Amino acid sequence: MQKVIAPILSAFTKEGTTDTRRLREHAERLFELGVDALFLNGTTGMGPALSKDEKLATLRTLSDITDRLIFQVGELNLENVLELVRMSKDYSILGVASYPPYYFPGLPENWVVRYFAEICRTSDHPVYLYNYPLATGVNITSELIKKVGGQNIKGIKDTTADITHPLELKFNMPSLEVYTGGDRIAAVSFASQLDGVVCASANYIPHLLVKMREATERCDLRHAHELQSVIARVVNAAAKYGSLSANYSLVRLILGHDPGLPRRPVYPLGRAEEEALWKEVEPVLAPYL
């Protein structure tokens, strides 16, 4: 079955420390609403802002449901990455994930290949690659994956705006699990029989993504496209205020519980901004709440 995976928000306090209690509460609520799995410490979860110990703490917080978690461990210090991979052996997770090395421009492709190859050699779990070229400057192609050659590469989260990229990955590597990370192409992803989605909107309107998947399963593409239009309008509204921060506000406004705060330099929305955001999205969502 195609999966709806939430790149779960990481919860922080006003002081900027991690709030594991709220992380746990949010995870439980998402599963209640039909999410199949969680992508831990991704972009939406502010993974690049988390230390090695904080990443491990998120895993420990959800240790009894790790069979429904993909544990993202990527960062610029490969020793920290490999240490997290080794530590994850004690948990029955779906797999470990990593984006490629970022920030440093012009990295030779063979360095990226070696980075992923070391993760594959170290991991007892399946490995998921995380492709987000807008943020990392590196585009993971099927040719690159084949050069890595890891027998335990299970899948990829492909955060690109162009649906042809994940389709090409699936065409060239049919056994690879391919999940799209773009909220605006979720319906096409389901209709194209990719393996599912890892969408930020799964944090605050997961039930709409579940309904979209159900609509495509019964070939009701009209309803799937209707839901896609709703999701896109909400995502576009959130982007006006800063999506990374607006995601937290939308959880409170739509689902009614507190997922904590983002960590600076991602600043939480002020009251006026939150009210303006809700004024824009509430009429769009009203028929579906």
Name residue 268's amino acid.
P
Angstrom distances, CA of residue 287 to CA of 7, 283, 284: 25, 8, 7
**Is 157 one of the annotated active-site residues of the chain?**
yes
Measure the CA dihedral 164/165/171/177, to 10°: -120
Write down the catalytic residue from 55, 154, 157, 211.
157
Active site residues: 157
